[in-house]
Amino acid sequence: MTHWPTGVAVVTTADRDGWWWGFTASAVSEVSARPPLVSVCVDRDAHCRSVFTAADAYAVHVLRAGQEELADRFTRDSANDFEGLPVSWGFEDVPLLDDVAVRLECRSVRSMPAGDHVILLGEVVRARTGPHEPLVYLEQGFRRLARPDTLPRAS
């Protein structure tokens, strides 16, 4: 699936002790419009998988073009992923990242194993969009969308 372009998202939650957790995901998808449902896939071996499968809520932050460093930050198994980031609190006290292309606050509906991943299904309870172009992931690298006026004209 490396030839399939996807958006890049950071998914965040807080555990029962108040610790913040996050991971970078490229497998995020709309499931339903009514009710608004999204799916997020987390690797079964991810250090945070058990936290997210037990969470009551989480937030999906679609990153904007230029946030490659933020995407990389949340691919590491690090306790200080949030260090120095402006964070606010959302639904069920989930940590929210500012200045992203799209932010979805979700109530956890269920999780289910699927091969080497676990699918998290969430109901969107709040959504915010911004004016930014999204960051894109393709062939194991970050990309930006081309503006329509820069594309070659069809002959």
Higher pLDDT, 46 or 106: 106
Q: Domain 6-150: what homologous superfamily?
A: Electron Transport, Fmn-binding Protein; Chain A (2.30.110.10)
Judge whether 8 and 66 are in contact, CB under 8 Å.
Answer: no
Tell me the whole-structure pTM to 2 decimals: 0.89
3-state secondary structure of 50: helix
Q: For the chain, what are the domain ranges? A: 6-150
Higher pLDDT, 21 or 137: 21
Query: Which tokens is 152 given?
Result: 């070659």
């419009």: which residue's tokens? 33
Torsions phi, psi of 103, nearest 5?
A: -130, 125
Q: How far apart are CA 72 and CA 75, in angstroms?
A: 5
* Each residue's pLDDT tens digit, 44-99: 999 999 999 999 999 999 999 999 999 999 997 766 789 999 999 999 999 999 89
